[in-house]
Structure 1
Amino acid sequence: MSDPEISIDNAASLRRVGEERVREIDGVSLRYWELPGNEHYLVLLHGNSLCKEVFYHQFDGLMESDWSLLAIDLPGHGASDDASDIDRQYTIPGYADLVWKLLDSLEIKRPAVLGWSLGGNIALELAGRDASISGIMLVGTPPVGPGTQHFADAFQDRALTSPAMEGDAPAEAMLEFLDDAVGPLDPMPSCFADAAIRADGRAREIMGAHWAAGTGGFDQMAVIAQWHAPIACVMGAEDKLARIDFVENVQWHNLWNDQPCILPGCGHAPFLHDPDRFNALLHSFLRSLI
């Protein structure tokens, strides 16, 4: 298992290939990191209170592949603006709206989507709308909600009490959450800590309350049981937030490789903990979509 080889001081130093760009969508300046050059696009969606730079190993590892890459800072996260309409845009359906409008404005057709944690829930929301997506890789994402019916079965206890869902979580609590979400990393890129502290607390609070209320969004278990395109499910064997046994026992209509892929020695962010093995798995999944 490989950790970052250099000490990282800021987000820009992780973006060794491609360019950071910005586009205004529905009153929000969204920052995205793009490595263009190929017809097929992989869109990468980060998790709660993190940023697009968590995928730097994937940009490094897939830069000579047949795929263009695009990672987005969600509103209220990373270098993107806070939401212009917080009650609408700080929800999983609202995030999906902004992501799809950005892709449409960039004329990106039928992408594959890699969604990590919250990013995976956004990807499944898009699938529920029958968006034109060639395939989805879920990473650390139990397909649950809207509503709390399956939360206790899908998440570890510490995830259910995480400060990452609180609007006024202090910096110390967010750093503890960060350790669960992306740790252990040595060294920990400082921009990850910056992102966790920078994230708009209203985004955590509104998104969590909206999803728990069950008043909007597609039933994610119904989506995976019906969606026609391939879905890969990747979990770290030592995930501190999501439960492996849940994803192993839900009903999938078109689960890639017919079973979840469990990466030993990895936590909630296996693309950071074992990037070589993860990238090989990702590349194999992407090849199957062409």
Structure 2
Amino acid sequence: MAMAPIDRMITTSDAALRVRDTGGDGLPIVLLHGSGSSIDVFHRQFADPILSHYRLVAIELPGHGLSSDAATPDKTYTLKGLAGVVTETLTSIGVSRAVFFGWSLGGHVTLQIAATTSIPVALLLSGTPPVSLGPLGLLRGFQPSFDILLTSKRHFSERDVTRFAQLCFGDAFDPKFLTTIARTDGRLRVNFLRSLMHGHGADQRRLVETSSMPIALVNGVLDPFVRLSYLETIPFANLWRDRSHLIPATGHAAFWHAPQLFNPLLNAFARDAELVLRAERLNLRRA
């Protein structure tokens, strides 16, 4: 049984990151948040008894929340850079296998980690289309709209902050989210999109088409960013239950809007993935 979560700061090679960790001997579920957010967005996962037998670990990305800004933003605020500091953090706290739940930006980071890590992993992606890097790949995976330009804008006005909160959480968002969005280092938005546009990372689509690791897709049916029809065109090598899961009447943050529907899916996926991860861990020890 997991303990009550504890927050601590982990110093990496380029930033100090806030980590919320329930500890315990259960399978680690690593939660990575989206752009402009923080680990506090996962409160409804940490508070749910259905997930209490796992070790929940939420990592606050550099430039967000109470984590520090990156010392070298041009390097760290990229696909490879963010994956690197998260992997460094997991090593320092002793995570040697994990189910990743990556939301939005966090999902893209988990895909990069999965492409480079040697530890057994399974991925649940929400608000994250696995894309081929470059302009064409991004156009295929995301909805074309004026609002999506906010994801790459360095300086947010007060109106931008409110609009970004509405896009991520709908009109009934927690007012605290405005402070979190306003705090975010805008250099991350610029540099991260640049790394996607210029292909500085793994081909995410190719990864999910060829890798045997378990992958689950859980999205809000009203997501304003993700082109849901695009997901149906990807021949996943190991898609959980052979389908994409849609949560009705929810948008980009389905896990926050409808935890009573999302959390049972996360629990079921982690339960199924644990068998695979345990076998892979044994194989690594024998090798």
> What TM-score comes out, normalization by structure 2 length?
0.90
Give the CA deviation at 1:92. Answer: 1.1
**Structure 2 residue aligned with 1:67, among 27, 35, 54?**
54
Structure 2 CA distance, aligned partners of 1:86 and 1:62? Answer: 38
CA contact (8 A) 1:49 1:164 kept: no
- 1:229 equivalent among 205, 213, 220: 213
Alignment RMSD: 1.7
Q: Which residue of 2 aligns with 1:11?
A: none
Q: Give distance in 2, aligned partners of 1:219 and 1:46.
A: 21
* Corresponding letter in the other structure for 2:123: I
8 Å Cα contact 2:50/2:264 also seen in 1: no
User: In structure 1, what is the Cα distance between the partners aligned to 2:196 and 2:51?
Assistant: 38
2:41 counterpart residue number: 54
Name the aligned partner's letter for residue 211 of structure 1: L
Alpha-carbon contact 2:12-2:88 (below 8 Å) kept: yes
Q: Following superposition of structure 1 onto structure 2, how do residues 172-211 of structure 1 map, counting pairs within 5 Å?
A: 172-185=159-172, 188-211=173-196
Query: Which residue matches 1:158?
Result: 145
In structure 2, how many angstroms separate the alpha carbons of the residues matched to 1:218 and 1:152?
17
Q: Whose relative contact order is higher, 1 or 2, with alpha carbons under 8 Å and at least 6 apart?
A: 1
Is residue 76–residue 83 contact of structure 1 (8 Å, CA) maintained in 2? yes
1:226-269 per-position Cα deviation (integer Å, ceiling 9, x unaligned): 11110001111111111110112112110001010011111011
For 1:6, the equivalent position in structure 2 comes to: none
Q: Return the offset for 1:34.
A: 1.1
Match of 1:78 among 65, 72, 76: 65
SS of 1:70's equivalent? Answer: strand
Instruction: After superposition, give the CA deviation of every residue in 1:137-189 in whole Å (9 maximum; x if it has no partner).
Output: 0001011142121222211123764313111221321220111112243xx32
User: Which ranges in structure 2 are unaligned for 5 or more consecutive residues?
Assistant: 275-287
- Superposed CA deviations along residues 26-80 of structure 1, whole A, max 9, x for unmatched, are 1311101111123310000001111111111110114763211011110001110
Determine the C-alpha separation between the residues in 1 that align with 2:78 and 2:146: 18
CA distance in 2, matches of 1:232, 1:241: 18
Unaligned runs of 5+ in 1: 1-15
Counterpart in 2 of 1:22? 9
* 1:254 counterpart residue number: 238
Sequence identity percentage: 32
Task: Label 1:172 to 1:31 Cα distance change in 2 as closer, same or farther (>3 A).
Answer: same
* Cα distance in 2 between the residues matched to 1:199 and 1:159: 21
Q: What is aligned with 1:10?
A: none
TM-score (norm 1): 0.89
2:238 partner amino acid: N
1:159–1:241 contact (8 Å) kept in structure 2: no
Q: Distance in 2 between matches of 1:172 and 1:181?
A: 14
Aligned: 1:105 with 2:89: no
Residue number in structure 1 paired with 2:280:
none
Conserved in 1, the CA contact under 8 Å of 2:7 and 2:18?
A: yes
Task: Tell me the number of residue pairs that the alignment of Structure 1 and Structure 2 aligns.
Answer: 272
Equivalent of 2:104 in 99, 112, 117: 117
Matched, 1:143 2:130: yes
Q: 1:122 to 1:237 in 2, by over 3 A?
A: same
